[in-house]
Chains A and B, each alone.
Chain A
Amino acid sequence: MIEATKTTVRDYILREFLPGENPAVLTDLTPLVTGGILNSLAILKLVDFLEEKFGIEIEAHETDLEHFNTITNIAALVHTKIVKSEQAGQ
């Protein structure tokens, strides 16, 4: 499931923020924020997408380097949120 989330996130980033760039260069561990690929506005746009796509709620304090610097981190955050919301639903 995490792999599917990574693919979704990667596709979105390539489509929205990196048009015309070589997709092979964007790995799961490419630094997105510290590497200058995502800025604060891009993160907000990405958050809106993730919330809508996965039906989760991300908190303001979670939009940081720890959670948004790589595709792996983003997918992990989404996965944690999904698990939490499923547990809350049960």
Chain B
Amino acid sequence: MELSAKVDNQVSQLGRSLTLSWLKPIVPDWQGLLKFLGIAVQLYLLVFIMRMLHLEHNAFHGKVMPLVFYGFIIHHLLPCPYRLVFFLFLSLAGILSVLGLADSAWLVGISLLLIGICHLPIPFWGRVAILLIAGGALTATRFGYFPAPWTKAIWPILASMLMFRLIIYLYDLKHNKAPMGMMHTLAYFFLLPNVACPLFPVVDYRTFCRTYYDEDEYRIYQTGLKWMLWGVIHLLIYRYINYYWIISPDKVHNTSTLVQYMVSNYLLIIRLSGQYHLIVGILHLFGFNLPRIMDLYFLSTGFTDYLRRVNVYWKDFIQKVFHHPAYFRMRNFRSATKLALATVWGFVATWFLHSYQWFWIQGSFLLSGPDVLFWLSLALLVVINSLYEVKHGLKFVLVKRAATLGEIAAKTLRATGIFVVMTILWSMWISLSLSEWFSLLSAAEVAWQDVAITLLAMTAVIGAAMFVYEKWPARMVAPPAFFRFATPTAVAILVLYLLVQPAYAFRLGTQASDLIAALRMDRLNEPDAALLERGYYEKLNNVHAFNSQLWELYMQKPDDWKPLHETNAVRKTDDFRRYELVPELDGSLKDVPFKTNRWGMRDDDYEQTPPPNAYRIAMIGGSIAQGPGVVHEETFEYLLEQRLNREHAGGQYAKYEILNFSVGGYNILQQLTALEKNVFDFKPDALFCMSVTRDEMRTFNFLLETPFETIPYEDVREIIRRAGVTEKMRINKAARLLKPYNDEIMSWTYNRIVQSCKPHGVLPVWICLPLEPEKYDSTQAADLRRLAQQAGFIALNLIDAYDSAKGTYLWIAPWDRHPNAKAHRLIANRIYEALRENQDKIPLGFSAKTQTIVESKSE
């Protein structure tokens, strides 16, 4: 009660003073006005930077951040008593703008119902029981036992707003720890940035109330800008690591790749840190002077210190609701026993709540060996560390002083140790299973001198950071005056603002401006992009997904959006292809009409025998050539055929036909089987083998998942045997053994395709299509082209097809990177250009006069 009164008094005092200053425009507070304008300009620049960098996702930088900017201006100009109400309505406006009217109404309605239950005039246990029943009903709905009248988009937000905050709120309600006014309560549950950030810090209700305008308002706002700037910097570092450093487990083969895999994956936590800094920073702009989160956790000098630094909000929550109540219930136990048992209990709660959080966000419980072992290991380490600290290490200082070099060295060694242990534990945590983790470790040939060098390098980097941190003068002295405090942040924001603009970045040289341009793009890393391209995102149910952008895309995917092989558009075959398209189908797939002809092609109907004097092209390929998510008339196959007929039919050839034998999900070996089984009966003049740079990887993965005896090609089985791969081998190990033979498999397949074409007089043409607008896979395309040429293909490398459309959206959906209609038009034009350029090799009978490629330029 005391605290409640204190906070209310504090707010009303501040309100009175601010109200008065607001009502005295005749004697303006020039210094205050200057501070406010400075903060508003910095915030404007930050909003602009976030938009330029496409930080996080559209809902965040496109909808929430503009609300934050305009909301901050109005909020500041309002008298204090109205600010909390305004913040609440701003938060509701944020929910409305992101989720739309219907979902917003459901979200707010359910929240109000649950908050209302907390205040029912019945005994506390009764309210808890009703809340549990309501939670059970929501759980059943989440599981799909009851139909939900809202879209699945609201689950993560609803869960994020309520699942932990209700527990904290009930606890504080029970112990009467904070003011329970309606505005405080509603503002606490509907925190503005939450609607765009499902992973949200567990804000403590009492701290939320206690820190509201507990300091000079301008200093609170400026601190918020500082955390937001840190958030942006964290997210840029994350992108750099994610784009340039991360590797998939199958690339681990020695000490340096093992270290690269482990450290880069551990460092991905920087993304969460960036998001949390942004969230806490935004809340500062509305007066909530919350503590800093994820504070230099790589410099933790102990496991208890790590917990404090990495997420003090979570640590305080677990301590308040689980650890301390357990500790105080064991009064008769020895201190060490109480501490150990309460700590283990805290970790059990953490593990369970982590799974609970995962359930609400993803819809399935997380229960995996690595997850259990991760939390268990961390619990043991923290128990040992806590007992040691209580016995020997609880020493503090009254006056801050600079650390000596000896102290810095000791802290560096401890921090390096923590970093190494956490990196190893993290690599286990993100593994799908313990056996996969052991397989990863055993696959790397570890050289101990490399380990020693790596440890020395880590110690040097951490030591340098520790030195700067310990010697940083700001830590020793009282906080500086406002303008001195604000200047570093303001300057850094200005520099960042200039850097993100292409006109200025260009002046730094090609390399730097290319890097900045790459960091501006919000895209997947290579391993995630490969998973998405394979259409295996349904399997992403591991904890690593908390850090994965791929998982976020997966969350947006409608339930009925399935890869071709999981739909009734295909039927099983008893050969190597596994499935084929159902003939004469008339349905829809990925939200567009999907029809097949009587031969089971996604194409117009054709007679088996070509018409007289027609030039017939058979096209084999995978999903990109088949065109999922676009109507048939938008596919590049259709557009190219139309153009050939429009511009050249009636010349050397009466007609051009392109028969599309592509089937989504087929790799090059399946395409070979389809070619030999179906294509030659249609008597084509040419074969267009449509390739993408991931063909090699896709074929490789397919072979790893295929029982060897079902592979119909003895030569391929022989290559696998030669690689040393056996049937029962773990997939990671098999992958490492087979990887060096990839080129040989591709080469063999290309040769076989060319040799199959020869007796039928078919001209084999290999065409490589782009996956992404950037050419980061150009080396792989060049390698494949070389193999295709050596095999006897006429090889056309067209991965530059999207170059004229850089920065344009070319996918059918954010979670499905197949080309959209625009991308198909670009591909059709590029193939047409290439055919014209290669008339001498591909005799399509084009007229000699040069035709302007109008469409191509209009793109």
Contact = CB atoms under 8 A, between A and B. Distances in A.
Contacts of A4: none
Contact of B394 (A36, A45, A64): A45
B327 A60 contact: yes
A61 to B, nearest CB: 4
Contacts of B389: 41
Interface in B159-177: 171, 175, 177
B304 interface: yes
B149 to A, nearest CB: 39
> What's the interface size class on A, roughly?
20 to 34
B386 interface: yes
A38 B331 contact: no
Contact of B398 (A26, A48, A63): A26
Interface in B312-330: 319-320, 324-325, 327-328
A30 interface: yes
Nearest to B206: A64
A51 B2 CA distance: 23
A25 B328 contact: no
B503 interface: no
Contacts of B398: 18, 21-22, 25-26, 30, 37
B397 interface: yes
Contacts of A39: 308, 394, 396
Interface string B378-414: 0000000010011000111111000000000000000
A66 interface: yes
B335 interface: yes
Contacts of B796: none
A41 B396 contact: no
Interface string A26-39: 10001000001111
Give the interface size bracket for B toward A. Answer: 20 to 34
Contacts of B339: 41, 44
A46 to B, nearest CB: 10
A57 interface: yes
Interface in A34-90: 36-42, 44-45, 48, 51, 57-61, 63-66
B319 A40 contact: yes
Contacts of B23: none
Q: Tell which of A19, A38, A41, A48 has the most Cβ of chain B within 10 Å.
A: A41
B849 to A, nearest CB: 82
B474 to A, nearest CB: 15
B242 to A, nearest CB: 34
A41 B331 contact: no
Q: By CB atoms of chain B within 10 A, which of A39, A61, A64 has the most? A: A61
B729 interface: no
B313 to A, nearest CB: 14
Contacts of A66: 2-3
Contacts of A30: 398
B335 A45 contact: yes
A81 to B, nearest CB: 13
A3 interface: no
A66 B386 CA distance: 24
B177 A36 contact: no
B394 A41 contact: yes
B175 to A, nearest CB: 4
A83 to B, nearest CB: 16
A59 B308 CA distance: 22
Nearest to B389: A41
Nearest to B305: A39
Contact of A60 (B3, B328, B390, B399): B328
A16 interface: yes
Nearest to A24: B398
Contacts of B320: 60-61
A20 to B, nearest CB: 9
Interface of B: 2-3, 171, 175, 177, 206, 210, 304, 308, 319-320, 324-325, 327-328, 331, 335, 339, 386, 389-390, 394-399
Given A19-B395, A22-B399, A39-B394, 10 more contacts: A16-B394, A17-B395, A22-B398, A26-B398, A36-B396, A41-B304, A44-B327, A61-B171, A65-B210, A66-B2
9 contacts: A17-B395, A21-B398, A22-B398, A36-B396, A42-B396, A44-B339, A57-B331, A59-B328, A60-B324
For the complex of A and B, list the 6 residue pairs with the smallest distance between their C-beta atoms, beginning with the closest: A60-B324, A60-B328, A61-B175, A25-B398, A60-B325, A21-B398
Interface of A: 16-19, 21-22, 25-26, 30, 36-42, 44-45, 48, 51, 57-61, 63-66
